[in-house]
Amino acid sequence: MPADYTSFAYLGDRYTPFELDTEFDRVQPYELGLSPEQAERAERFMRENLIINLHEHPQIYPRDINQAPAYARSGREHLAYQALASSGVDVVFDNMMGPTGCIASHHGWKWDDVVHDVGMRLADVAHQDRVRIARSVRDILDCRANGQIGLVLAIEAATPIENELDRLDLLYGFGVRQVGLVYNGANQIGGGLAEDRDGGLTRFGRQVVDRMNRLGMSIDLSHAGDRTSLDAIEASAAPVMITHAGARTVWPTERMKPDVVLRALAGAGGLLGVEAAPHSTVSEAHPGHSIDSVMDHFLYCVEMMGVDHVTFGPDTLFGDHVGVHRVFASLFGTGDLPVPPRDPDPLTKVGVENPVPERVEYCAGMENPGESLRNAVSWLVRHGWPDADIAKVTGGNALRVLRESWVR
């Protein structure tokens, strides 16, 4: 795709052009300091092993990031399939427009918008041969064998099903294989992490968990509240996932997960994907968000949960991610204000300090889906990890959970 690629969308009473940012080397490659032998080993590992990225938004954004809300409202965000082709990843869990998919409503998570988003992604995939939709474990293995990239369709909130359980069946029929129960705010299923009080999984929420188990859809708890997360882990007959988060002990914000939730997740056979969205998985040791900050969370979680229960869900995109956060925060009136501290939850016994991280322009070393897993492998190689353990945390653990939670 040429660097001056322009997309047109009909907004209001005219067509609006969006010059898309297709120069995916927007920032300088991150220097990990590998020796020639380590670099060769890392590249060989990427070629010889199944690599699964548990959470991304692999679409292209406008070069002028201030156009991002209008671009999202157009309902036509383009899949960056050429960039994915050079990422070295075999499978990407694609969360599409996610919470910014406000096509018809500023508040997001409307059923028609989500169906529109899924349909547009399917249309993009249908116009090329490098990326294919993965609907089963067999599809994932076939993609690996055929040199294709498997795209697993995922939605970050079950909010758009409203009180209609059968909408989960519709999503499954469209190819969606992973759904988050809640996105920050509470819904009819349970409490979100941004709520002052989390009432836990509702009766309807338990029906949702049961239906997803029966369909063979992965359950994601990344944006659920702590109590709702614990309830869902207990209620699910299959292992669940927290696809993109980190450890609250390492960085005490509401977006991170407390030890009690992470231990319960591991105890039920589940999986945590460590994220890298800007200013999220920060640490005291590395307050400027970078791959080293991300790996501080990763190492802590591996030590506490075990190497069989941790992987990577970077939660990145192709474009100015910090800028995306800024323009959408401005649109929704949240600005850049810090979140106030919270009192300890009586169930988890954990308070939330919500410290303000050191501001960076991007998360160095994990800036986009094209580099995140490749750099994670290189970091692990540089730090002496054996291939067997690297294989678990970059694909094997995810495949194991999918085998136990998908029905096909």
Task: Tell whether 9 is covered by a domain.
Answer: no
Task: Tell whether 220 is covered by a domain.
Answer: yes
- pLDDT tens for the 408 residues of the chain, in order: 334 456 655 455 555 677 777 666 677 889 999 999 999 999 999 999 999 999 999 998 888 889 888 888 888 888 998 889 889 999 999 999 888 777 777 777 899 999 999 999 999 999 999 999 999 999 999 999 999 999 999 999 999 999 999 999 999 999 999 999 999 999 999 999 999 899 999 999 999 999 999 999 999 999 999 999 999 999 999 999 999 999 999 999 999 999 999 999 999 999 999 999 999 999 999 999 999 999 999 999 999 999 999 999 999 998 899 999 898 887 765 544 556 777 777 777 777 888 889 999 999 999 999 999 999 999 999 999 999 999 999 999 999 999 999 988
Task: Tell whether 1 is covered by a domain.
Answer: no
Letter for the amino acid at 208?
V
Alpha-carbon distance of 276 to 282, in angstroms, equals 9
Residue 140 sits in a domain whose CATH number is 3.20.20.140
Nearest to 179 by CA among 241, 131, 103: 241
Alpha-carbon distance of 240 to 209, in angstroms, equals 10
Task: Tell whether 63 is covered by a domain.
Answer: yes
Domain that holds residue 51: 35-405
Task: Tell whether 95 is covered by a domain.
Answer: yes
Task: Tell whether 318 is covered by a domain.
Answer: yes
The tally of domains found in the chain comes to 1
Alpha-carbon distance of 383 to 15, in angstroms, equals 51
Residues 6 or more apart whose CB falls under 8 angstroms from that of 152 comprise 91, 92, 93, 94, 133, 134, 140, 177, 178
Task: Tell whether 64 is covered by a domain.
Answer: yes
Total-model pTM: 0.94
Give me the count of residues in the chain: 408
Task: Tell whether 118 is covered by a domain.
Answer: yes
For residues 175-195, one letter each, b for 16 or more C-beta atoms within 10 angstroms of the residue's C-beta and e for the rest, the string is: bbbbbbbbbbebbebbbbbbb
Q: Which one-letter DSSP state was computed for residue 192?
A: B
